[in-house]
Structures are given as C-alpha cells and as structure tokens.
C-alpha cells in the first residue's frame, strides 16, 4: 500500500520497487529522497526510523547506496518500509536528522565507517573511530589486514590482528554457542 501511494505521489522519482516477505522497498532519486522520507513520516505514518546504513558498490558508479529502514507503529498496524537511493562518490547526502532526531547517530556512523558526508548534519564528529583517523574501515577498498597506525597510545602500532582475535568466530562444526568468540578463553 505504501509503495503504490509513493508511486502515485512522486511518479518517476520512484525508480523501482521490490516486495519481499511483506517488506516493501522503494529505490528513489537521490534529489527527492529527503522529500519522500518526509512524506513517509508525515503522511504515511512511518514515525520510527529503525536504521540508516550504506553500501559500497566499489568499482561501480554511483558508488554509494543509502538505505533507510522505516517502521510504523500507529493504529495497531505494523509495517516496514525500506527507502534506498544512490549517490556518486563525491556527492553529499541530505541529512534526515531534521525529520528524526535519532538519524544524527546513524549518519555519524555512516560517515565514520564509509566517509559519506551529510548536507545539514550539525555534528560530523566520528562516533566509533578516533578523531584524526584518516581511513574509513567499511569501504571495500580498505584492506582486510588493516592499516599501520602511528598512534601507539590510541591503537595498534602494527597491523591489527584479525585471525583468532576476540571478535572473530572460528570455523568449526561445533554449535553457534561454541563458535562465539567470547566462549573461548583468551590469554
């Protein structure tokens, strides 16, 4: 129902749609994304912003894809709606922190991990990495072995170890509980 309403209201700005297992997704023009998201909040009742995430389509243009997960809780009706838009590598995305206050945290995380900047976001401080960290760890061009750090008091002075680390699951035929890193004793 939401998708049909969006298509009727925004026409060609809705580039494509997908429905899968009761979840609706609309891929929209970047230039209209903020307006569409505001319409979803104000007119369709999607009052809960679950998450904002991003995808890196490294080697393709446009490189970035933003994903907004919306939910409506009103009138005993529970609906999930996903809005997506794509942006080129050097383009900024319009912030939706004016629509949902919680968006600021999500947008800061997207900036911190991917380097995507948001037009209208008041606070661009990093949220997970330290200020001055020159890289964006979730980009596909970030090496899996890590990068050397010259900040010994803040991070590793060598490449960060991954294999067997405290946050890496171990391949085994054991149950999920035993694959969990916290179940292993760490020296």
Kindly tell me if the per-residue pLDDT of 66 is higher than 80.
Answer: yes
Distance from CA of residue 77 to its chain's centroid?
Answer: 26
Residue 160 and residue 147 in contact, taking contact as beta carbons nearer than 8 Å: no
Q: Which domains does the chain have, with CATH numbers?
A: 2-142 (3.30.460.80), 154-187 (no CATH)
Segment 144-187, tens digit of pLDDT? 766 666 655 555 455 554 444 554 555 667 666 665 555 555 44
> Which pLDDT value is given to residue 152?
53
Segment 114-137, tens digit of pLDDT? 999 999 998 888 888 888 888 898
Q: pTM for the complete prediction? A: 0.77
Token couple for 169: 């699951």
């Amino acid at each position: 129902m939401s998708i049909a309403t969006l298509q009727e209201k925004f026409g060609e700005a809705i580039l494509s749609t997908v429905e899968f297992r009761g979840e609706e997704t609309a891929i929209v023009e970047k230039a209209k994304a903020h307006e569409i998201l505001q319409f979803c909040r104000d007119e369709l009742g999607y009052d809960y912003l679950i998450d904002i995430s991003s995808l890196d389509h490294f080697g393709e243009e446009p490189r970035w894809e933003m994903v907004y997960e919306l939910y409506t809780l009103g009138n005993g009706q529970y609906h999930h709606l996903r809005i997506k838009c794509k942006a080129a590598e050097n383009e900024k995305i319009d912030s939706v922190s004016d629509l949902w206050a919680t968006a600021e945290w999500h947008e800061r995380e997207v900036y911190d991990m991917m380097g995507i900047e948001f037009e209208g976001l008041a606070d661009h401080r990093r949220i997970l990495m330290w200020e001055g960290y020159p890289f964006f760890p979730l980009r596909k061009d970030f090496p899996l072995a890590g990068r050397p750090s010259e900040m010994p008091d803040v991070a590793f002075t060598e490449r960060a170890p991954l294999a067997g680390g405290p946050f890496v699951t171990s391949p085994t035929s054991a149950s999920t509980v035993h694959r969990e890193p916290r179940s292993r004793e760490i020296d």
